[in-house]
Amino acid sequence: MTDCIFCKIVKGEIPASKVYEDDAILAFDDIHPMAPVHVILITKEHIATLMDVDKNHTDVMGRLIAAAQKVAQIKKVAAGGFRAVVNCNSDGGQVVFHLHMHLLGGRKLEDQLG
């Protein structure tokens, strides 16, 4: 994807405040945080939405969850708790059509975001 902002971040074309990275996942601080800790975790492979995940992506989905656990530890929210959210398509609140997870924490979260 040539116009995908997350693909550009993966390629290093757009800077990001990296929190965690491995060969499949990149995590960085959200530039418009909705909580004291708000990290975006993305797959390095461009997958547009959660609905585009298929049997070939089971490994990367497991790695996304494992990365979220590591980020929660790095950001020191693992013990107190955090929220992990994947929005899917426009009605689900997805704005960037590249599979990603929001990890939010650092305070008691309300029932709804935003």
Tokens of 107: 């305070």
- Annotated catalytic residue within 38, 98, 100, 102: 100
Tokens of 18: 């990296």
Give, in order, the Cα–Cα distances in Å from 113 to each of 22, 76, 87, 105. 28, 20, 12, 11
| C-alpha neighbours within 13 Å on the C-beta side of residue 74 | 18
| Residue 100 annotated among the catalytic residues of the structure | yes
Give the active site residues.
100
